[in-house]
């Protein structure tokens, strides 16, 4: 029988062999989530939990790897109740010449053809002299919802928050919660007795959701001293808006708002992309602008920004659920130089990335950040690495847009996916 042994830093250590502890987990005597603390060994805890799971379900987890992973690195940071990890292939697209520097972009995906396509776009951009990016805004958001007895009272708090002097004192409270989070402003939305306060702040090299939430909590505690009748309903009232499509993000931005552009020479459009400028311009209007309008899109005026955003997010340890708003993008294509060349741009108002926090410290993800030269906190100035990562995401999206749109314009899409996305032999099918 598993027994509780001597205490180690206040935590009772379980004694007993693995078999005894597995049985104790199955019977409910030991909660599965407590294994790490009670064993003081996170690898062993994962293995015991996995065995208990296999026996409880009668399912075999043989295909799910458990070895060669640092379970301490996720403890209290990235994942609870681990029983193994999922492997994903990481491909590399590039080099892409962006703002005068060459990048090789890591992409974690199981969609065959995606990396090849992005790679082709990178080639077209680089051979045309490169892309240029501009960060337009940088602010992470959190919007709590509070309730008052009357709508008039809710409006009073709105007006209070809109007074510059009050915002200054609130910023002092907010900024105390972090060395890097700095309050920029508060945008209020009101619905009857309910007030939604969208706090916007810079977050250095972190994506910032924990930081901004911590600062907002402090401000709510402070406000309650003056607004005794304010009832906090939730620290998140969905006006933030995190991990859901929303017009407020599309219009106001969230995280980094980036525009990235390039002029692709007509001969490169023909040679590398196998199409022509006029066809791309026409397709962009008909598909990405009109087609998306007919579909009633929210931020989806593009071909497949989410493909690239998600693959880069997973490779670099970002929160993959934030691909929702991070993929908001409008792709523009216009003929320039008397119709000879193509000006292409992607405008992405909500790229939510960090180079510290979340999964960025994990060995594989940190290696991918290092490949891009943006691992960890920036030594030049806080936030420089995260901003650079956001521009790289936008650059890679620009490449992806160029290549997929070209494949669609030339009728190449299905054929290319049959070749790279459906091989059953583990080798690339001939045709």
Ligand X SMILES: CC(C)(COP(=O)([O-])OP(=O)([O-])OC[C@H]1O[C@@H](n2cnc3c(N)ncnc32)[C@H](O)[C@@H]1OP(=O)([O-])[O-])[C@@H](O)C(=O)NCCC(=O)NCCSC(=O)C[C@@](C)(O)CC(=O)[O-]
Residues of this chain that interact with ligand X (CB under 6 A) are 111, 113-114, 116-117, 119-120, 123, 272, 274, 303-304, 307, 403-404, 407, 412-413, 416, 420
> Per CB under 6 A, which region of 19-27, 304-312, 350-358, 390-398 contacts ligand NDP?
350-358
Near ligand NDP in 184-213, by CB under 6 A: 203-211, 213
Residue 407 touches which member of ligand NDP, ligand X, none, C-beta under 5-8 Å by kind: ligand X
Out of ligand NDP, ligand X, none, what residue 123 binds, judged by CB under 5 to 8 A for its kind, is ligand X
- Supply angle C-alpha 251, 314, 139, rounded to 5: 30
179 binds, among ligand NDP, ligand X, none (CB under 5 to 8 A by kind): ligand NDP
Which residue, chain included where needed, has tokens 């407590």?
34
Name the minimum Å distance from CB 326 to ligand NDP.
12
Element (H, E) at 28: none
User: Closer CB to ligand NDP, residue 209 or residue 404?
Assistant: 209
Secondary structure element (H or E) that encloses residue 334, with its range: strand 329-336
Site stretch for ligand NDP (CB under 6 A), options 102-110, 116-124, 179-187, 246-254: 179-187
Residue in 356, 371, 399, 402 binding ligand NDP, rule: CB under 6 A = 356
Q: Does 325 help bind ligand NDP (rule: CB under 6 A)? A: no
Q: Which residues contact 264 (CB under 8 A, 6 or more apart)?
A: 124, 125, 128, 273, 341, 342, 344, 402
Q: Residue 242 binds which entry of ligand NDP, ligand X, none, with Cβ cut-offs from 5 to 8 Å by kind?
A: ligand NDP
Q: Which of 42, 119, 178, 302 binds ligand NDP (CB under 6 A)?
A: 178
- Residue 199's beta-bridge partner residues? 142, 186
Cα–Cα distance for residue pair 128/275, rounded to 1 Å: 15
The stretch among 26-34, 225-233, 269-277, 351-359 that binds ligand NDP (CB under 6 A) is 351-359
Alpha-carbon gap, residue 282 to 300, rounded angstroms? 18
Q: Which is nearer to ligand NDP, 148 or 199 (CB)?
A: 199
Name the minimum Å distance from CB 91 to ligand X.
8
Residue 213 site contact among ligand NDP, ligand X, none (CB < 5 to 8 Å, cut-off depends on kind): ligand NDP
90: how many CB neighbours lie within 10 A of its CB?
Answer: 19
Catalytic center residues: 111, 243, 319, 417
Instruction: Determine if 73 is a binding residue for ligand NDP (CB under 6 A).
Output: no
Quick one: tokens of 239? 């006006």
What the block records as the tokens of 244 is 């859901």
Name the strand (E) or helix (H) holding 192.
none
d(Cα 385, Cα 290) in Å, to the nearest integer? 36
Token match 């030269």: residue?
373
Strand partners of residue 189: 196
DSSP SS3 for 233: strand
Residue ranges that bind ligand NDP, judged by CB under 6 A: 178-181, 203-211, 213, 242, 319, 354, 356-358, 377, 382
């Amino acid at each position: 029988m598993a027994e509780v042994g001597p205490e180690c830093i206040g935590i009772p250590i379980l004694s007993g062999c693995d078999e005894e502890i597995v049985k104790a987990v199955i019977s409910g005597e030991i909660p599965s989530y407590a294994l790490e603390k009670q064993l003081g060994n996170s690898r062993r805890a994962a293995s015991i939990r996995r065995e208990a799971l296999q026996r409880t379900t009668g399912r075999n987890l043989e295909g799910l790897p458990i070895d060669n992973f640092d379970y301490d690195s996720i403890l209290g940071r990235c994942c609870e109740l681990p029983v193994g990890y999922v492997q994903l292939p990481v491909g590399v697209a590039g080099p892409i010449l962006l703002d005068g520097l060459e990048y090789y972009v890591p992409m974690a995906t199981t969609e065959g053809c995606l990396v090849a396509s992005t790679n082709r776009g990178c080639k077209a951009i680089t051979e045309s002299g490169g892309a240029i990016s501009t960060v337009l805004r940088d602010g992470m958001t959190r919007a709590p919802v509070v309730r008052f007895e009357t709508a008039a009272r809710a409006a009073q708090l709105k007006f209070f928050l809109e007074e510059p002097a009050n915002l200054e004192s609130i910023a002092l409270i907010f900024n105390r919660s972090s060395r890097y989070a700095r309050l920029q402003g508060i945008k209020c939305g009101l619905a009857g007795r309910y007030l939604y306060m969208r706090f916007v702040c810079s977050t250095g090299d972190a994506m910032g959701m924990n930081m901004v939430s911590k600062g907002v909590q402090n401000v709510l505690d402070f406000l309650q001293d003056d607004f005794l009748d304010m009832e906090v309903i939730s620290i998140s009232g969905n006006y933030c808006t995190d991990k859901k499509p929303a017009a407020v993000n599309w219009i106001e931005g969230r995280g980094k708002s980036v525009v990235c552009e390039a002029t692709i020479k007509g001969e490169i459009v023909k040679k590398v992309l196998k199409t022509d400028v006029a066809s791309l311009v026409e397709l962009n209007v008909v598909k990405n602008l009109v087609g998306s309008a007919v579909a009633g899109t929210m931020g989806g005026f593009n071909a497949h920004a989410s493909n690239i955003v998600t693959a880069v997010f997973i490779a670099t340890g970002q929160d993959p659920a934030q691909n929702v708003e991070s993929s908001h993008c409008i792709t523009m294509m216009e003929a320039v130089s008397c119709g000879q060349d193509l000006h292409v741009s992607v405008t992405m108002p909500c790229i939510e990335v960090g180079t510290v926090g979340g999964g960025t410290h994990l060995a594989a993800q940190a290696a991918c950040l290092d490949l891009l030269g943006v691992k960890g906190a920036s030594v030049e100035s806080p936030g420089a690495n995260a901003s650079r990562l956001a521009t790289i995401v936008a650059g890679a999206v620009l490449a992806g847009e160029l290549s997929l749109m070209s494949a669609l314009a030339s009728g190449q899409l299905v054929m290319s996916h049959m070749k790279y996305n459906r091989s059953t032999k583990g080798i690339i099918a001939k045709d």
